Structure 1
Amino acid sequence: MTMTNPKIPLVSKESVEFFASMFKELDQRSYDLLRKATLPNDIHKETNYLCLPESSLKNFMEVLGESLENDRLGIVFLRSCRETFIPKMVGVLTQNQSLKAALEEFCEVLKQESTGAHVCVENSGGKWWLVRHKSKSDEVWFKYAEMFSVMFMAELLRVLTSNRWTPTIIGIQDSSAEDFKKLPTLGKATFSVERPVTALEIPQPLIDLPINLQSVEQSKLLLGQLDLGEEASYVDQFRLAMRPYLSMGKLPITLAAQILRTNVRTLQRKLKKEDRIYQELIEEMVFDEIKECLTSTDFPVTQVASQFGYSDSAHFGRSFKRVTGLTPTQYRAQRA
């Protein structure tokens, strides 16, 4: 069961990696941009974490939007959708009786990629729509995220209908359609602004159109493994959201709050409700990762220390013994 009201919305590591790959379009060092967007430096590597907080994508959208002119941004969105995201998502669909059935399946698949996603097929005003529900925000990220969503939903409809669908009416939450009209392939659409949702019209003759899904190997949906249920605690979700950043060591609470797009007092208050203190929790999480690294790899202890932000191996050894009662070498030998 997917969480319908997550305390910390999560997105699959695979999805964040897809977005982070857009930084390659920029004539700047990816490392600096990843750091500015609060994305882990190892996002393009094989890792042991499955997801990141949705807020990391909001940070990403702000950095990308600030780094590209809107016309070039639209081209990056279009190419990324066509080359990567659309083939991946279509590749997991199985429903081919109609466009409506395929879209409904897609909406369920998307929930497994992002616990905060809410896209659905709706009939409103006698018309069919592909609708994205997202609370409106005046923050910078929202506009760029909506531009990507419009581009993505349009390309999805084109692919599923073998180009029978063409943009007609598009509702957006933004107060201006100027930049949306500049998006590639959408120049002839009629945009309706300040709508409560983002929505693309689907003509009635297409909604029941049978779909010809190509035989594509199904990709693994990483968040399908995150069956936390409705009762998952804030601490449970905090652990999942912060795990990708633990290689940086004991994160300052200011940085954790920045990653989650909240403030320090709010973070402290939410943890306190579950009888946890930030510094104790983050140290516990870091040492859980360290213990796993010691038992699952043969990395030298000095390398493990450096990997988790300890420049002084002696300090690392003392800290590890304080937490576990053993030195790193003793701990590894005991579990060999």
Structure 2
Amino acid sequence: MKSATHSIPLIRANSLHDLGELFKEQNPDIHALIASISAPLDVQQCHQDFLPEATLRSLIKVFGESCSPQAFIIAIQHACKTRYIPSVIAQLSQYGPMTVRSALEQFNEIISDHSSGARLSLKHFNGDDWFVRDKEGVCEDWFKYAEVFSVIFMDELVSALSGRRHWNRYVTLRSSDMESFITCPQLAHIQFFTHRSVTGIRLDASILNTDALLHRYPSNHAAQVLRPIPIQFVPAFKQSLQPYVRMGKLPLSQASRILCLHTRTIQRRLHAVGLTYRDVIEEIVLERAQDLLLNSCLSITAIAANMGYGDSANFTRFFKRKMAMTPSQYRCQKSAKAGVSRDRR
């Protein structure tokens, strides 16, 4: 099994919906937007848990390219101040009083529950403390927009937690071609250093040791128990493709485009654990079909169409090959067992 570093980065699906709010002022063609970021066609109606991080990267890139650097910064700052930061601080308030340092450390744990590709930490370099974001892809066209988003978010989070708006900001950026962003008036309070090894904000001990201001956005809800994000390659690969298999069979070439992974890379990683791409897709289709048979009133014909089969006969042959019974027999058998279990209570 490959290590987590060779996995498919996943995000919780609501992260894509939250970021999609940036487009509200632009009144975009939603179907064209969904297609341009390789999101599932039914992403607005479905309630899947996870999506590939590549969809989020594409969304931030499309938004960044659709407006000026200044408009991009203003939109991100507004979203952070009105949505993202209040939500984060409300979650942190569940853990009781803490310092800014402890709050940032706790936040780094929280964010990993929402994105398996997010790596933020507090690090000590050459006598200074830094709030650091470590992200691969600096040569990709989405990276600079995501980096600006991260810097604005990190800056706003530290300011909100500490209550400090006026302090010397020293920020390192991995991207080199950032002049159009760092010269905008909205970021004039930050001293930038480009083409560095990590994205980071230097923090003084006086800020880190301050009591975190968590009372501004108290949480009225118990801590939410989230289903863990898969980090090993095969489970993450299956989760990343599940929303797309809903729309029908998924060719390897299309999966490659969705995940931004070469087809040979996918095949090689699956081969390393004794699987083929067809094996994985059939597992996804079978699991989805079983769920629909047990938890919906859809006919066999409708379920077959949902799974991308032109007729129910082909679907029935596939299901029988996998389960040694027809879909109708499976539904009846499981329904009968469920009825017996209820009667015994």
Aligned to 1:31: 31
Q: Which amino acid aligns with 1:123?
A: H
Distance 1:171 1:122 in 2: 13
Q: Does 1:153 find its partner at 2:154?
A: yes
Note the 1:1-336 alignment, pairs <5 A. Answer: 5=5, 7-45=7-45, 47=47, 49-93=48-92, 94=95, 96-166=97-167, 168-181=169-182, 185-214=186-215, 215-218=218-221, 224-226=226-228, 233-336=232-335
What secondary structure is seen at the aligned counterpart in 2 of 1:122?
Answer: strand
The 3 A distance-change label for structure 1 pair 183 and 252 is farther
Distance 2:222 2:269 in 1: 36
Q: Which amino acid aligns with 1:277?
A: T
Residues 160 and 213, structure 2, Cα contact 8 Å, conserved in 1: no
Aligned-residue identity in percent: 31
Alignment deviations for residues 78-100 of structure 1 (CA, whole Å, 9 cap, x no partner): 22222322222211112533111
Q: How many residues align?
A: 329
Q: Which amino acid aligns with 1:259?
A: I
What secondary structure is seen at the aligned counterpart in 1 of 2:91?
Answer: coil
Q: Which amino acid aligns with 1:216?
A: S
The 3 A distance-change label for structure 1 pair 68 and 294 is farther
What secondary structure is seen at the aligned counterpart in 2 of 1:286?
Answer: helix
Distance 2:183 2:310 in 1: 49
Residues 4 and 233, structure 2, Cα contact 8 Å, conserved in 1: no
Residues 167 and 186, structure 1, Cα contact 8 Å, conserved in 2: no
The 3 A distance-change label for structure 1 pair 325 and 153 is same
Alignment deviations for residues 210-238 of structure 1 (CA, whole Å, 9 cap, x no partner): 1121221357667x43275xxx6422221
Distance 1:34 1:182 in 2: 32
Distance 1:171 1:192 in 2: 5
In the TM superposition, what is the alpha-carbon distance from 1:175 to its structure 2 partner? 0.7
What secondary structure is seen at the aligned counterpart in 2 of 1:55?
Answer: helix
What secondary structure is seen at the aligned counterpart in 2 of 1:199?
Answer: strand
Highest Rg: 1 or 2?
A: 2
Aligned to 2:341: none
Structure 1: 5+ residue runs without aligned partners?
none
The 3 A distance-change label for structure 1 pair 164 and 297 is same
What secondary structure is seen at the aligned counterpart in 2 of 1:31?
Answer: helix
* Cα RMSD for the two superposed structures: 2.6
TM-score (norm 2): 0.85
In the TM superposition, what is the alpha-carbon distance from 1:252 to its structure 2 partner? 0.7
Q: Which amino acid aligns with 1:278?
A: Y
Structure 2: 5+ residue runs without aligned partners?
336-345
Distance 1:247 1:331 in 2: 20
In the TM superposition, what is the alpha-carbon distance from 1:264 to its structure 2 partner? 0.7
Distance 2:315 2:24 in 1: 36
Q: Which amino acid aligns with 2:39?
A: L
Give the stretch that moved more between structures: 69-78 or 278-287. 69-78
What secondary structure is seen at the aligned counterpart in 2 of 1:92?
Answer: helix
The 3 A distance-change label for structure 1 pair 225 and 144 is same
The 3 A distance-change label for structure 1 pair 74 and 293 is same
In the TM superposition, what is the alpha-carbon distance from 1:183 to its structure 2 partner? 5.7
Distance 1:178 1:59 in 2: 22
Residues 88 and 219, structure 1, Cα contact 8 Å, conserved in 2: no
In the TM superposition, what is the alpha-carbon distance from 1:262 to its structure 2 partner? 0.9
The 3 A distance-change label for structure 1 pair 165 and 330 is farther
Distance 1:40 1:18 in 2: 16
What secondary structure is seen at the aligned counterpart in 2 of 1:185?
Answer: helix
Distance 1:35 1:221 in 2: 32
Distance 1:174 1:106 in 2: 24
The 3 A distance-change label for structure 1 pair 87 and 5 is same
The 3 A distance-change label for structure 1 pair 217 and 179 is farther
Distance 1:275 1:59 in 2: 32
Residues 122 and 131, structure 2, Cα contact 8 Å, conserved in 1: yes
Residues 270 and 277, structure 2, Cα contact 8 Å, conserved in 1: yes
Q: Which amino acid aligns with 2:29?
A: R
Q: Which amino acid aligns with 1:276?
A: L
Distance 1:204 1:252 in 2: 53
